[in-house]
Chain A
Protein backbone atom coordinates (compact mmCIF):
# COMPACT_ATOMS: atom_id res chain seq x y z
CA UNK A 1 0.00 0.00 0.00
CA UNK A 2 1.34 3.41 -0.99
CA UNK A 3 1.52 5.39 2.23
CA UNK A 4 1.47 9.18 1.94
CA UNK A 5 4.60 10.84 3.25
CA UNK A 6 4.14 13.73 5.59
CA UNK A 7 6.92 15.97 6.89
CA UNK A 8 6.12 17.47 10.30
CA UNK A 9 8.16 20.57 11.20
CA UNK A 10 7.77 21.92 14.73
CA UNK A 11 10.36 23.00 17.29
CA UNK A 12 8.47 21.06 19.98
CA UNK A 13 9.54 17.35 19.78
CA UNK A 14 6.53 16.26 21.86
CA UNK A 15 4.21 17.66 19.23
CA UNK A 16 5.95 16.09 16.23
CA UNK A 17 6.14 12.79 18.13
CA UNK A 18 2.43 12.95 19.01
CA UNK A 19 1.49 13.66 15.40
CA UNK A 20 3.81 10.90 14.13
CA UNK A 21 2.43 8.28 16.51
CA UNK A 22 -1.18 9.18 15.76
CA UNK A 23 -0.89 9.39 11.99
CA UNK A 24 1.27 6.30 11.63
CA UNK A 25 -1.17 4.35 13.79
CA UNK A 26 -3.77 4.97 11.11
CA UNK A 27 -1.60 2.95 8.74
CA UNK A 28 -1.93 5.25 5.75
CA UNK A 29 0.82 7.76 6.48
CA UNK A 30 4.57 7.75 6.77
CA UNK A 31 5.89 10.55 8.94
CA UNK A 32 9.23 12.27 9.33
CA UNK A 33 9.79 14.75 12.14
CA UNK A 34 11.93 17.90 12.01
CA UNK A 35 12.55 19.93 15.15
CA UNK A 36 15.15 22.36 13.81
CA UNK A 37 13.73 24.76 11.25
CA UNK A 38 17.04 25.14 9.32
CA UNK A 39 17.06 21.34 8.74
CA UNK A 40 13.64 21.50 7.08
CA UNK A 41 14.79 22.01 3.48
CA UNK A 42 17.36 19.20 3.61
CA UNK A 43 14.88 16.79 5.21
CA UNK A 44 12.24 17.70 2.62
CA UNK A 45 14.68 17.07 -0.23
CA UNK A 46 15.55 13.64 1.19
CA UNK A 47 12.04 12.62 2.29
CA UNK A 48 10.10 13.94 -0.74
CA UNK A 49 6.89 14.52 1.24
CA UNK A 50 3.39 14.52 -0.24
CA UNK A 51 2.41 17.13 2.33
CA UNK A 52 4.14 19.29 4.94
CA UNK A 53 2.81 20.21 8.37
CA UNK A 54 4.64 23.38 9.40
CA UNK A 55 4.60 25.25 12.70
CA UNK A 56 4.40 29.03 12.34
CA UNK A 57 6.27 30.17 15.46
CA UNK A 58 9.70 28.64 15.76
CA UNK A 59 12.77 30.19 17.40
CA UNK A 60 15.40 30.06 14.67
CA UNK A 61 13.26 30.58 11.63
CA UNK A 62 9.52 31.10 11.45
CA UNK A 63 7.15 28.98 9.41
CA UNK A 64 6.72 31.64 6.73
CA UNK A 65 10.46 31.73 6.04
CA UNK A 66 10.72 27.94 5.97
CA UNK A 67 7.81 27.82 3.50
CA UNK A 68 9.49 30.41 1.28
CA UNK A 69 12.71 28.36 1.19
CA UNK A 70 10.79 25.18 0.40
CA UNK A 71 8.96 26.94 -2.42
CA UNK A 72 12.27 27.92 -4.00
CA UNK A 73 13.00 24.25 -4.68
CA UNK A 74 11.30 23.16 -7.92
CA UNK A 75 10.51 19.65 -6.68
CA UNK A 76 8.80 21.05 -3.57
CA UNK A 77 7.10 24.14 -4.91
CA UNK A 78 3.78 22.35 -5.40
CA UNK A 79 3.85 20.32 -2.22
CA UNK A 80 0.89 21.36 -0.09
CA UNK A 81 1.73 22.95 3.25
CA UNK A 82 -0.57 23.10 6.23
CA UNK A 83 0.53 25.65 8.81
CA UNK A 84 0.02 24.98 12.50
CA UNK A 85 -0.35 28.09 14.59
CA UNK A 86 -0.95 28.80 18.24
CA UNK A 87 -1.68 32.49 18.03
CA UNK A 88 -5.04 32.52 16.33
CA UNK A 89 -8.39 31.31 17.58
CA UNK A 90 -9.88 28.21 16.03
CA UNK A 91 -12.75 30.22 14.51
CA UNK A 92 -10.28 32.27 12.50
CA UNK A 93 -9.14 29.22 10.60
CA UNK A 94 -12.65 28.54 9.30
CA UNK A 95 -13.83 29.59 5.85
CA UNK A 96 -12.08 31.86 3.40
CA UNK A 97 -9.76 33.45 5.92
CA UNK A 98 -8.00 30.14 6.47
CA UNK A 99 -5.65 30.53 3.53
CA UNK A 100 -2.30 32.23 3.58
CA UNK A 101 -0.79 32.31 0.11
CA UNK A 102 -2.92 29.38 -0.92
CA UNK A 103 -2.05 27.31 2.13
CA UNK A 104 -4.29 26.00 4.89
CA UNK A 105 -3.62 26.68 8.45
CA UNK A 106 -4.88 24.96 11.55
CA UNK A 107 -5.09 26.45 15.01
CA UNK A 108 -3.32 24.55 17.77
CA UNK A 109 -4.30 22.45 19.57
CA UNK A 110 -5.53 20.37 16.66
CA UNK A 111 -7.40 17.15 17.39
CA UNK A 112 -6.65 14.07 15.35
CA UNK A 113 -9.95 14.12 13.45
CA UNK A 114 -9.48 17.69 12.24
CA UNK A 115 -5.86 17.05 11.33
CA UNK A 116 -6.63 13.94 9.28
CA UNK A 117 -9.52 15.68 7.55
CA UNK A 118 -7.34 18.67 6.59
CA UNK A 119 -4.54 16.39 5.33
CA UNK A 120 -6.88 14.26 3.24
CA UNK A 121 -8.55 17.37 1.86
CA UNK A 122 -5.24 18.80 0.64
CA UNK A 123 -4.00 15.44 -0.67
CA UNK A 124 -7.15 14.96 -2.77
CA UNK A 125 -6.69 18.44 -4.22
Chain B
Protein backbone atom coordinates (compact mmCIF):
# COMPACT_ATOMS: atom_id res chain seq x y z
CA UNK B 1 0.00 0.00 0.00
CA UNK B 2 2.82 2.39 0.92
CA UNK B 3 4.52 1.59 -2.41
CA UNK B 4 1.30 2.36 -4.29
CA UNK B 5 0.73 5.67 -2.49
CA UNK B 6 4.38 6.61 -3.10
CA UNK B 7 3.89 5.92 -6.81
CA UNK B 8 0.67 8.07 -6.80
CA UNK B 9 2.65 10.91 -5.25
CA UNK B 10 5.46 10.63 -7.81
CA UNK B 11 2.98 10.63 -10.73
CA UNK B 12 1.13 13.64 -9.26
CA UNK B 13 4.37 15.59 -8.88
CA UNK B 14 5.51 14.71 -12.43
CA UNK B 15 2.05 15.59 -13.75
CA UNK B 16 2.15 18.91 -11.95
CA UNK B 17 5.68 19.78 -13.07
CA UNK B 18 5.36 18.76 -16.70
CA UNK B 19 1.74 19.55 -17.34
CA UNK B 20 1.70 16.84 -19.95
CA UNK B 21 -1.89 16.07 -19.11
CA UNK B 22 -3.32 12.76 -20.21
CA UNK B 23 -0.03 11.11 -21.23
CA UNK B 24 1.23 11.43 -17.64
CA UNK B 25 -2.16 11.00 -16.01
CA UNK B 26 -2.41 7.52 -17.44
CA UNK B 27 0.60 6.61 -15.27
CA UNK B 28 -1.81 6.60 -12.29
CA UNK B 29 -2.87 3.19 -13.60
CA UNK B 30 0.48 1.76 -12.46
CA UNK B 31 -0.12 2.19 -8.69
CA UNK B 32 -3.79 1.27 -9.17
CA UNK B 33 -2.89 -2.01 -10.90
CA UNK B 34 -0.08 -2.69 -8.44
CA UNK B 35 -2.29 -2.26 -5.39
CA UNK B 36 -5.20 -4.21 -6.89
CA UNK B 37 -2.90 -7.14 -7.84
CA UNK B 38 -1.02 -7.36 -4.59
CA UNK B 39 -3.54 -5.89 -2.15
CA UNK B 40 -6.88 -7.00 -3.53
CA UNK B 41 -10.01 -5.18 -4.66
CA UNK B 42 -10.40 -2.84 -1.67
CA UNK B 43 -6.81 -1.66 -1.81
CA UNK B 44 -7.14 -1.14 -5.58
CA UNK B 45 -10.33 0.93 -5.18
CA UNK B 46 -8.73 2.96 -2.44
CA UNK B 47 -5.65 3.75 -4.56
CA UNK B 48 -7.97 4.50 -7.53
CA UNK B 49 -9.83 7.08 -5.40
CA UNK B 50 -6.55 8.53 -4.11
CA UNK B 51 -5.23 8.75 -7.72
CA UNK B 52 -8.40 10.54 -8.89
CA UNK B 53 -8.11 12.92 -5.95
CA UNK B 54 -4.41 13.53 -6.70
CA UNK B 55 -5.30 14.29 -10.32
CA UNK B 56 -7.99 16.73 -9.17
CA UNK B 57 -5.54 18.31 -6.73
CA UNK B 58 -2.86 19.03 -9.28
CA UNK B 59 -5.43 20.31 -11.79
CA UNK B 60 -6.65 22.73 -9.20
CA UNK B 61 -3.09 23.75 -8.37
CA UNK B 62 -2.43 24.41 -12.07
CA UNK B 63 -5.59 26.43 -12.00
CA UNK B 64 -6.80 24.85 -15.19
CA UNK B 65 -9.41 26.82 -16.97
CA UNK B 66 -12.43 25.03 -18.19
CA UNK B 67 -15.44 26.54 -19.84
CA UNK B 68 -17.59 25.26 -17.07
CA UNK B 69 -16.58 24.34 -13.49
CA UNK B 70 -18.51 21.04 -13.80
CA UNK B 71 -16.08 19.88 -16.49
CA UNK B 72 -13.31 19.42 -13.90
CA UNK B 73 -15.66 17.49 -11.65
CA UNK B 74 -16.86 15.38 -14.58
CA UNK B 75 -13.29 14.63 -15.69
CA UNK B 76 -12.32 13.64 -12.12
CA UNK B 77 -15.34 11.36 -11.86
CA UNK B 78 -14.71 9.60 -15.19
CA UNK B 79 -11.02 9.20 -14.36
CA UNK B 80 -11.87 7.88 -10.89
CA UNK B 81 -14.44 5.42 -12.29
CA UNK B 82 -11.94 4.27 -14.95
CA UNK B 83 -9.28 3.72 -12.30
CA UNK B 84 -11.81 1.89 -10.17
CA UNK B 85 -12.82 -0.36 -13.08
CA UNK B 86 -9.20 -1.18 -13.82
CA UNK B 87 -8.67 -1.94 -10.12
CA UNK B 88 -11.69 -4.26 -10.02
CA UNK B 89 -10.60 -6.00 -13.24
CA UNK B 90 -7.05 -6.42 -12.00
CA UNK B 91 -8.21 -7.76 -8.61
CA UNK B 92 -10.58 -10.17 -10.36
CA UNK B 93 -7.82 -11.30 -12.69
CA UNK B 94 -5.51 -11.92 -9.75
CA UNK B 95 -8.23 -13.84 -7.89
CA UNK B 96 -8.97 -15.95 -10.96
CA UNK B 97 -5.31 -16.79 -11.36
CA UNK B 98 -5.02 -17.78 -7.72
CA UNK B 99 -8.13 -19.95 -8.01
CA UNK B 100 -6.74 -21.51 -11.16
CA UNK B 101 -3.45 -22.29 -9.47
CA UNK B 102 -5.29 -23.80 -6.51
CA UNK B 103 -7.45 -25.92 -8.82
CA UNK B 104 -4.41 -27.11 -10.75
CA UNK B 105 -2.58 -27.95 -7.51
CA UNK B 106 -5.62 -29.82 -6.18
CA UNK B 107 -6.05 -31.80 -9.39
CA UNK B 108 -2.34 -32.56 -9.56
CA UNK B 109 -2.46 -33.89 -5.99
CA UNK B 110 -5.49 -36.01 -6.84
CA UNK B 111 -3.75 -37.29 -9.95
CA UNK B 112 -0.66 -38.15 -7.96
CA UNK B 113 -2.86 -39.97 -5.46
CA UNK B 114 -4.55 -41.88 -8.27
CA UNK B 115 -1.19 -42.81 -9.79
CA UNK B 116 -0.03 -44.00 -6.38
CA UNK B 117 -3.21 -46.03 -5.86
CA UNK B 118 -2.83 -47.56 -9.31
CA UNK B 119 0.78 -48.46 -8.60
CA UNK B 120 -0.24 -50.08 -5.33
CA UNK B 121 -3.01 -51.98 -7.11
CA UNK B 122 -0.54 -53.12 -9.77
CA UNK B 123 1.89 -54.19 -7.07
CA UNK B 124 -0.86 -56.15 -5.30
CA UNK B 125 -1.86 -57.71 -8.60
CA UNK B 126 1.71 -58.76 -9.27
CA UNK B 127 1.94 -60.21 -5.75
CA UNK B 128 -1.33 -62.13 -6.13
CA UNK B 129 -0.22 -63.34 -9.55
CA UNK B 130 3.08 -64.57 -8.15
CA UNK B 131 1.25 -66.36 -5.32
CA UNK B 132 -1.13 -67.89 -7.83
CA UNK B 133 1.75 -69.11 -9.95
CA UNK B 134 3.44 -70.56 -6.88
CA UNK B 135 0.24 -72.32 -5.82
CA UNK B 136 -0.16 -73.68 -9.33
CA UNK B 137 3.41 -74.98 -9.25
CA UNK B 138 2.78 -76.57 -5.85
CA UNK B 139 -0.37 -78.24 -7.14
CA UNK B 140 1.48 -79.58 -10.17
CA UNK B 141 4.28 -80.74 -7.91
CA UNK B 142 1.80 -82.40 -5.52
CA UNK B 143 0.10 -84.18 -8.41
CA UNK B 144 3.47 -85.32 -9.66
CA UNK B 145 4.39 -86.55 -6.20
CA UNK B 146 1.18 -88.53 -5.92
CA UNK B 147 1.91 -90.11 -9.28
CA UNK B 148 5.48 -90.89 -8.25
CA UNK B 149 4.18 -92.37 -5.00
CA UNK B 150 1.71 -94.66 -6.69
CA UNK B 151 4.22 -95.63 -9.33
CA UNK B 152 6.99 -96.23 -6.80
CA UNK B 153 4.92 -98.52 -4.59
CA UNK B 154 3.68 -100.46 -7.60
CA UNK B 155 7.01 -100.70 -9.31
CA UNK B 156 8.96 -101.47 -6.15
CA UNK B 157 7.45 -104.90 -5.61
CA UNK B 158 7.51 -105.89 -9.25
CA UNK B 159 11.10 -104.77 -9.80
CA UNK B 160 12.77 -105.57 -6.53
CA UNK B 161 12.01 -109.29 -6.66
CA UNK B 162 13.68 -109.71 -10.08
CA UNK B 163 16.57 -107.56 -8.84
CA UNK B 164 16.97 -109.89 -5.87
CA UNK B 165 16.99 -112.91 -8.15
CA UNK B 166 19.72 -111.34 -10.29
CA UNK B 167 21.71 -110.27 -7.23
CA UNK B 168 21.50 -113.69 -5.61
CA UNK B 169 22.63 -115.30 -8.86
CA UNK B 170 25.65 -113.02 -9.08
CA UNK B 171 26.44 -113.62 -5.38
CA UNK B 172 26.30 -117.36 -5.91
CA UNK B 173 28.75 -117.42 -8.79
CA UNK B 174 31.02 -114.93 -7.05
CA UNK B 175 31.29 -117.05 -3.90
CA UNK B 176 31.90 -120.24 -5.94
CA UNK B 177 35.17 -118.65 -7.11
CA UNK B 178 35.11 -120.92 -10.14
CA UNK B 179 35.35 -117.96 -12.45
CA UNK B 180 38.13 -116.03 -14.17
CA UNK B 181 38.94 -112.43 -13.28
CA UNK B 182 36.98 -111.19 -16.26
CA UNK B 183 33.96 -113.22 -15.21
CA UNK B 184 34.32 -112.01 -11.62
CA UNK B 185 34.32 -108.41 -12.91
CA UNK B 186 31.23 -109.12 -14.96
CA UNK B 187 29.46 -110.55 -11.91
CA UNK B 188 30.55 -107.58 -9.83
CA UNK B 189 29.16 -105.27 -12.55
CA UNK B 190 25.87 -107.15 -12.30
CA UNK B 191 25.81 -106.62 -8.54
CA UNK B 192 26.57 -102.92 -9.05
CA UNK B 193 23.77 -102.65 -11.60
CA UNK B 194 21.37 -104.25 -9.12
CA UNK B 195 22.54 -101.83 -6.44
CA UNK B 196 22.06 -98.82 -8.74
CA UNK B 197 18.59 -99.86 -9.80
CA UNK B 198 17.67 -100.52 -6.17
CA UNK B 199 18.95 -97.09 -5.19
CA UNK B 200 16.71 -95.39 -7.73
CA UNK B 201 13.63 -97.31 -6.60
CA UNK B 202 14.46 -96.55 -2.98
CA UNK B 203 14.81 -92.87 -3.81
CA UNK B 204 11.39 -92.92 -5.43
CA UNK B 205 9.90 -94.70 -2.43
CA UNK B 206 11.51 -92.34 0.02
CA UNK B 207 10.53 -89.32 -2.04
CA UNK B 208 6.91 -90.33 -2.35
CA UNK B 209 6.50 -91.42 1.23
CA UNK B 210 8.89 -89.48 3.46
CA UNK B 211 9.36 -90.99 6.86
CA UNK B 212 8.47 -88.89 9.92
CA UNK B 213 11.26 -86.67 11.14
CA UNK B 214 13.27 -87.65 14.18
CA UNK B 215 13.91 -84.17 15.53
CA UNK B 216 16.68 -83.71 18.06
CA UNK B 217 18.44 -80.45 19.05
CA UNK B 218 21.49 -80.40 16.80
CA UNK B 219 24.38 -78.10 16.06
CA UNK B 220 24.18 -77.33 12.34
CA UNK B 221 27.96 -76.86 12.08
CA UNK B 222 28.55 -80.39 13.41
CA UNK B 223 26.23 -81.86 10.77
CA UNK B 224 28.02 -79.86 8.08
CA UNK B 225 31.43 -81.11 9.25
CA UNK B 226 30.16 -84.72 9.41
CA UNK B 227 28.73 -84.44 5.90
CA UNK B 228 31.96 -82.95 4.54
CA UNK B 229 33.71 -85.94 6.05
CA UNK B 230 31.33 -88.30 4.24
CA UNK B 231 32.26 -86.80 0.85
CA UNK B 232 35.94 -86.19 1.56
CA UNK B 233 37.06 -88.87 -0.92
CA UNK B 234 35.09 -87.25 -3.72
CA UNK B 235 36.43 -83.79 -2.81
CA UNK B 236 39.99 -85.14 -2.73
CA UNK B 237 39.49 -86.92 -6.06
CA UNK B 238 38.40 -83.63 -7.67
CA UNK B 239 41.20 -81.63 -5.94
CA UNK B 240 38.66 -79.38 -4.25
CA UNK B 241 39.73 -77.04 -1.50
CA UNK B 242 37.17 -76.69 1.27
CA UNK B 243 36.80 -73.32 2.99
CA UNK B 244 34.76 -73.45 6.21
CA UNK B 245 33.44 -70.16 7.50
CA UNK B 246 31.28 -71.54 10.28
CA UNK B 247 30.06 -69.09 12.88
CA UNK B 248 30.74 -70.42 16.36
CA UNK B 249 28.04 -70.78 19.03
CA UNK B 250 25.08 -70.99 16.68
CA UNK B 251 21.83 -71.80 18.48
CA UNK B 252 20.92 -75.50 18.36
CA UNK B 253 18.14 -76.38 15.91
CA UNK B 254 15.52 -79.15 15.96
CA UNK B 255 16.84 -81.32 13.12
CA UNK B 256 16.74 -84.89 11.84
CA UNK B 257 20.45 -85.64 11.66
CA UNK B 258 20.28 -88.41 9.03
CA UNK B 259 17.99 -86.47 6.71
CA UNK B 260 19.99 -83.26 7.02
CA UNK B 261 23.24 -85.10 6.34
CA UNK B 262 21.54 -86.51 3.24
CA UNK B 263 20.78 -82.91 2.18
CA UNK B 264 24.32 -81.68 2.76
CA UNK B 265 25.96 -84.70 1.12
CA UNK B 266 23.74 -84.16 -1.93
CA UNK B 267 24.63 -80.46 -2.18
CA UNK B 268 28.36 -81.10 -1.61
CA UNK B 269 28.30 -83.88 -4.21
CA UNK B 270 26.63 -81.59 -6.74
CA UNK B 271 29.27 -78.92 -6.03
CA UNK B 272 32.07 -81.48 -6.46
CA UNK B 273 30.59 -82.71 -9.74
CA UNK B 274 30.47 -79.10 -10.96
CA UNK B 275 34.24 -78.81 -10.37
CA UNK B 276 35.76 -81.92 -11.99
CA UNK B 277 39.22 -80.36 -12.34
CA UNK B 278 39.35 -78.66 -8.96
CA UNK B 279 38.03 -75.54 -7.32
CA UNK B 280 36.89 -74.20 -3.99
CA UNK B 281 33.89 -75.27 -1.95
CA UNK B 282 32.94 -72.63 0.59
CA UNK B 283 30.55 -73.47 3.41
CA UNK B 284 29.41 -70.50 5.48
CA UNK B 285 27.05 -70.52 8.45
CA UNK B 286 25.73 -67.51 10.31
CA UNK B 287 22.96 -66.21 12.54
CA UNK B 288 21.05 -63.42 10.85
CA UNK B 289 18.12 -61.22 11.68
CA UNK B 290 15.50 -61.45 8.96
CA UNK B 291 13.13 -58.57 8.38
CA UNK B 292 10.71 -58.16 5.54
CA UNK B 293 7.13 -58.38 4.49
CA UNK B 294 7.33 -61.81 2.89
CA UNK B 295 8.45 -63.66 6.02
CA UNK B 296 8.13 -63.45 9.77
CA UNK B 297 10.84 -61.21 11.11
CA UNK B 298 13.27 -62.80 13.53
CA UNK B 299 16.59 -64.58 13.79
CA UNK B 300 17.43 -67.36 11.32
CA UNK B 301 20.40 -69.67 10.92
CA UNK B 302 21.70 -69.31 7.38
CA UNK B 303 23.93 -71.76 5.56
CA UNK B 304 25.55 -70.88 2.25
CA UNK B 305 27.26 -73.44 0.06
CA UNK B 306 29.26 -72.01 -2.83
CA UNK B 307 31.34 -73.61 -5.54
CA UNK B 308 33.63 -72.16 -8.20
CA UNK B 309 32.18 -74.25 -11.02
CA UNK B 310 30.40 -72.88 -14.09
CA UNK B 311 27.25 -72.00 -12.13
CA UNK B 312 23.66 -72.89 -12.96
CA UNK B 313 22.37 -71.85 -16.37
CA UNK B 314 19.43 -69.43 -16.05
CA UNK B 315 17.11 -71.67 -18.08
CA UNK B 316 17.64 -74.51 -15.59
CA UNK B 317 16.88 -72.46 -12.47
CA UNK B 318 13.06 -72.49 -12.61
CA UNK B 319 12.90 -76.29 -12.94
CA UNK B 320 15.89 -77.34 -10.91
CA UNK B 321 13.86 -78.61 -7.92
CA UNK B 322 11.34 -80.51 -10.04
CA UNK B 323 11.23 -84.26 -9.67
CA UNK B 324 12.95 -86.12 -12.55
CA UNK B 325 14.48 -82.90 -13.93
CA UNK B 326 18.18 -83.48 -14.43
CA UNK B 327 20.98 -81.73 -16.29
CA UNK B 328 23.28 -84.69 -15.93
CA UNK B 329 23.96 -87.15 -18.76
CA UNK B 330 21.61 -90.16 -18.99
CA UNK B 331 22.35 -92.74 -16.32
CA UNK B 332 24.21 -90.30 -14.08
CA UNK B 333 21.35 -88.55 -12.37
CA UNK B 334 17.86 -89.56 -11.32
CA UNK B 335 16.54 -86.00 -11.19
CA UNK B 336 15.36 -86.67 -7.66
CA UNK B 337 18.35 -85.37 -5.68
CA UNK B 338 17.41 -81.69 -5.37
CA UNK B 339 13.70 -82.47 -5.22
CA UNK B 340 14.40 -84.64 -2.16
CA UNK B 341 16.70 -81.97 -0.72
CA UNK B 342 13.97 -79.37 -0.95
CA UNK B 343 11.35 -81.70 0.46
CA UNK B 344 13.51 -82.60 3.46
CA UNK B 345 14.20 -78.92 4.13
CA UNK B 346 10.54 -78.00 3.76
CA UNK B 347 9.41 -80.59 6.28
CA UNK B 348 11.99 -79.07 8.63
CA UNK B 349 10.35 -75.68 8.05
CA UNK B 350 13.56 -74.59 6.31
CA UNK B 351 13.99 -73.05 2.90
CA UNK B 352 16.50 -73.36 0.07
CA UNK B 353 17.31 -70.93 -2.74
CA UNK B 354 19.68 -71.84 -5.56
CA UNK B 355 21.43 -69.30 -7.74
CA UNK B 356 24.81 -68.06 -8.86
CA UNK B 357 27.15 -65.78 -6.94
CA UNK B 358 28.96 -62.80 -8.41
CA UNK B 359 32.12 -64.82 -9.22
CA UNK B 360 30.02 -67.15 -11.37
CA UNK B 361 29.78 -70.40 -9.39
CA UNK B 362 26.60 -71.80 -7.89
CA UNK B 363 25.34 -70.87 -4.44
CA UNK B 364 22.77 -72.66 -2.30
CA UNK B 365 21.32 -70.59 0.53
CA UNK B 366 19.55 -72.54 3.26
CA UNK B 367 17.49 -70.75 5.90
CA UNK B 368 16.48 -72.44 9.16
CA UNK B 369 13.98 -71.21 11.74
CA UNK B 370 15.18 -71.35 15.33
CA UNK B 371 12.01 -73.09 16.51
CA UNK B 372 9.99 -75.82 14.83
CA UNK B 373 6.85 -73.62 14.84
CA UNK B 374 6.71 -73.45 11.07
CA UNK B 375 7.12 -77.18 10.58
CA UNK B 376 4.56 -78.50 8.15
Contact = CB atoms under 8 A, between A and B. Distances in A.
Interface of A: 12, 14-15, 18-19, 21-22, 25-26, 57, 86-92, 97, 107-112
Contact of A109 (B176, B194, B205): B194
Nearest to A24: B172
Contact of B171 (A87, A91, A107, A111): A111
A108 B176 contact: no
Chain B residues touching A, majority SS:
helix
Contact of A57 (B157, B168, B195): B157
B164 A15 contact: yes
B176 A25 contact: yes
B206 interface: yes
Which interface residue of A15, A57, A89 has the most chain B CB atoms within 10 A? A89
Nearest to A21: B172
Contacts of A19: 168
Contacts of A91: 202, 206, 258
Contact of B205 (A22, A25, A87, A110): A87
B176 A15 contact: no
Contacts, number: 75
Interface in B133-168: 153, 156-157, 160-161, 163-168
A16 to B, nearest CB: 10
Given A25-B175, A112-B171, A18 B205 contact: no
A106 B318 CA distance: 39
Nearest to A13: B165
Contacts of B164: 15, 18, 86, 108-110
A87 B168 contact: no
24 contacts: A15-B165, A15-B168, A18-B167, A18-B172, A19-B168, A21-B168, A22-B172, A25-B172, A26-B175, A57-B157, A87-B153, A89-B202, A91-B258, A92-B211, A107-B160, A108-B160, A108-B163, A109-B167, A109-B168, A110-B164, A110-B167, A111-B167, A111-B191, A112-B168
Given A19-B168, A22-B168, A89-B202, A112 B161 contact: no
Contacts of A57: 157
A86 B167 CA distance: 14
A14 B165 contact: yes
B286 interface: no
Contacts of B169: 18
A107 B159 CA distance: 13
Contacts of B269: none
Contacts of B205: 87-89
Interface residues of B, number: 27
A12 B162 CA distance: 9
A99 to B, nearest CB: 15
B198 interface: yes
Nearest to A110: B164
Contacts of B195: 111
B198 A12 contact: no
Contact of A87 (B157, B163, B166, B258): B157
Q: What are the 3 closest A-B residue pairs judged by CB atoms, nearest first?
A: A18-B168, A109-B164, A89-B202
Contacts of B172: 18, 21-22, 25, 112
A108 B161 contact: yes
Contacts of B171: 18, 22, 111-112
B88 to A, nearest CB: 98
A26 B171 CA distance: 11
A124 B44 CA distance: 121
Nearest to B191: A111
A22 B198 CA distance: 20
Contacts of B258: 91
Contacts of A111: 167, 171, 191, 194-195
Contact of A86 (B157, B175, B211): B157
Interface in B188-226: 191, 194-195, 198, 201-203, 205-206, 211
Which interface residue of A22, A86, A91 has the most chain B CB atoms within 10 A? A86
Nearest to B204: A89
A73 to B, nearest CB: 28
B310 to A, nearest CB: 32
A61 B33 CA distance: 114
A101 B169 CA distance: 31
A97 B165 CA distance: 26
A9 to B, nearest CB: 14
